Structure 1
Amino acid sequence: METGLYVHVPFCVKKCNYCDFISYPYHEKKVESYLAGLEQEMKLYSQSPIFQNRKISTVYIGGGTPTCLAAASLGKIIHDSFKYFNVSIGAEVTMEANPGTVSPHLLASVQAAGVNRLSLGVQSCREDELRLLGRIHSFRQAKETFLMAREAGLHNIGVDLISGLPGQSTLDWMETLKNIIALEPDHVSAYGLQLEAGTPLYEDVQSGSLAPCSEEEELKMFLQTGDFLTNYGLDHYEISNFATPGRQCRHNLMYWHNQEYLGIGPAAHSFINGCRYANEVQISAYKDALDAECLPVANQEKIDTVTEMAETVFLGLRLLKGLSLDCFKRRFGCAIDEVYPGPLQKLTDMGLVESAGGYLRLTRRGLPVANRVFIEFLP
């Protein structure tokens, strides 16, 4: 059975103004405690019977900002991942990186250790937007980091971007797209800004000091992104993701196919054997559990068949190819139209979904309102 491995690095140089992910300021002693706990957690899982015959087909080191750690620390994380798990030959090994936190030495070191895919958090090419987002880098640094990664032998580089910022126009967004495509990335993730409660950007919008991007402008940017990037030869394979041939993110595809994954590290989540697990959020609680030779699971939830069906449908519909009707039937023992006759008829009549070539997929009209479609399948 193939499984994805996610390793969470919960440290950042500075938390961005839009981010609500679990992360902490870099602190050397906390990093030492974290690394020791991480290896212990990997060791405990490797000794579990459920992992004896599992193959890890993808490894994803995310955060936080993994590249705020030293090259030796990142090398240890990669080494331990291969040491304690049966990582497949040819596995995709991704590491997130932020411009301003890398060096040629670090990139060459992680590439030699086994990283073969880099996900670079650029977000924008405009300095005013980078300041608004609270990023620590300039676009000049982002370009330098990209080229540095190529020189380090990383031939699969993805770039993350954010649209729909307060005050952003379609011309501003096109400027970013043009500058990014000039770098010739292998993958582009272009997400619309989500204003999360408790973040500085959310508070600024709520207080009226910043005006949110209108839904009309957001829609224009979404359509603009798809048309522009596909025109340059990138395959629009998921609502917010584009790739050159063969460079789709295999780790994220496991999520969208609702396959199993193991999350290691504070605040990491897992989906194994029909159960969803969430690790302790605080590093101290995480490490205390591991010091007692217990897995640092804070809570777990058994996913019933009804919920698993719904999640399989709306995750699969995120893919432009759609959800395989045959895979759904083999997984659950029944056809999708037997489970959701009403929603399927309604959404088809509205022109939001269609069946083609054995797949259920969103139409071009349905893509921008995907969340409206997904709600129809919730139990």
Structure 2
Amino acid sequence: MAGAYIHIPFCAHICYYCDFNKVFIEGQPVDDYVSMLLREMQMVMAQYPDEPIKTVYVGGGTPTTLTPAQLDRLCRGIRETLHFEQGEFTFEANPNDLLTTEKLQVLHDNGVNRLSIGVQSFDDAILKQIGRTHRSQDVYTAIANARQVGFDNLSIDLIFRLPGQSRDNFLHSLQKALALDLPHYSTYSLILERKTIFYNLMRKGKLTLPTQDVEADMYQDAIDLMQVHGRQQYEIANFAQPGFECRHNLLYWQNAHYFGFGAGAFGYIGRDRYHNYGPIQQYLAPLKAHKLPVIEHHLVPLEEQIEEEMFLGLRTRAGVSRQRFFDRYHLRIEDVYGTLLAQLQAQGLLTDADGQVCLTNRGMFLGNEVFQQFLIDGPLL
């Protein structure tokens, strides 16, 4: 069983923090893109006719920048081509694309059953400062419209450590978000990625961010407040009522297989990790010639598989299962990481009990620093 990630690279506006593969939609060959995207799915699935698709996630960019007709064509094509009868079917959306029910109705009619809505903050001044074009009132309209159409599996994203954001300001956004009583929330610390407006401002000394101590307080506030409201932290940045965890993302964190379709998309099938061309025309050209738009294939060696098993599994509260690790690699975790496990436990970053290796709260906050220590130096066999 595998998941399918489908990338829509178009945006009506480019946010200042975003480094995902995206382009401003005006003047772009959107209809051609949808056609070639469906062709890519047909070509790939012809090679895997018996591979059941468990989850579908349409991300971006902003998938809801497509017109209702384009959304309808895309969703119908996904169902027909991927043989995706039932399962979690997620679309990312911006609030200001959902101010009427037209697009929502198209998605719902085509079997989309989960929405992930990019909110980021409930402070209009901060939304403007980070390059978002919606305002907080639009979030309420979007959620009301989604519920009216019949969506109940809804998630929103929040970002902390934003320019000009205080701890109280983020706490206010958390409270506003939880008052909506949604089954799922994601909250991420701002990362300054290259090729973003914020990164360039930082290099010029023109970006003032909260301190690391304030960032840590914001993260702990999110964990605590979500817990009080019955949303369990099941991954570093994700919180859900039981049964509403994002099943597609769980495939990633369990180091499972997934197809990647669209410009710049990654896939991971068997030991093959592949990567599509990112620029739109470079993605379209091979498909028009009935060739796949893959720029690179990477056969993942054992060492890298094990590293990723640890990186990804430790992102989740469930952690890494000793039994699952042994079943996959015919090695015990301590055969590879015995000394390191003891060191991280002594530092209060890791727990190792009941057959599960997990990060502590402090370990989760320092996640990237901890993960780097699981890199393997040299071949195992």
- TM-score (structure 1 length as normaliser): 0.97
Match of 2:89 in 1: 93
Matched with 1:215 is 212
Q: Provide the rounded CA distance (Å) in 2 between the counterparts of 1:229 and 1:59.
A: 26
1:316 aligns with 2:313: yes
1:243 aligns with 2:240: yes
Partner residue, 2:270 = 273
Residue of structure 1 aligned with 2:324, choices 323, 327, 333:
327
- Identify which of 112, 133, 138 aligns with 1:136: 133
Indicate the SS of the match to 1:331: helix
The gaps in structure 2 that reach 5 residues or longer are 377-381
Instruction: Report the AA paired with residue 236 of structure 1.
Output: Q
TM-score normalised by L of structure 2: 0.96
Code of the aligned partner of 1:372: E
Structure 2 residue matching 1:41: 3-state secondary structure: helix
SS in 1 for 2:290: coil
The 5 Å alignment of 1:61-76 reads 61-76=58-73
Runs of 4+ in 1 over 6 A off after TM superposition: none
The letter for the 1-side match of 2:46 is Q
Q: Do the aligned partners of 1:71 and 1:109 also contact (CA within 8 Å) in 2?
A: yes
Count of matched residue pairs: 375
* Counterpart position of 1:21: 20
Contact 1:57 1:88 in 2 (8 A): no
> What pairs with 1:336-375 in structure 2 (closer than 5 Å)?
336-375=333-372
Report how far residue 308 of structure 1 moved: 0.5
Percent of residue pairs bearing the same amino acid type: 37
Q: Output the amino acid matched with 2:61.
A: G
The corresponding residue for 1:285 is: 282
Q: Which amino acid aligns with 1:32?
A: D
Specify the SS of the correspondent of 2:158: strand
Distance in 2 (alpha carbons) for counterparts of 1:197 and 1:65: 20
Structure 1: how far apart are the matches of 2:189 and 2:21?
Answer: 20
Distance 2:353 2:360 in 1: 10
Q: Is the 8 A contact 2:12 2:26 kept in 1?
A: no
What secondary structure does 1:82 align onto? helix
Residue matched to 2:35: 36
**2:379 — aligned with what?**
none
> SS where residue 108 of structure 1 aligns?
helix
* 1:150 to 2:184 alignment: no
Secondary structure of 2:95 counterpart: coil
> For residues 112 and 356 of structure 1, what CA distance do their matches in structure 2 show?
46
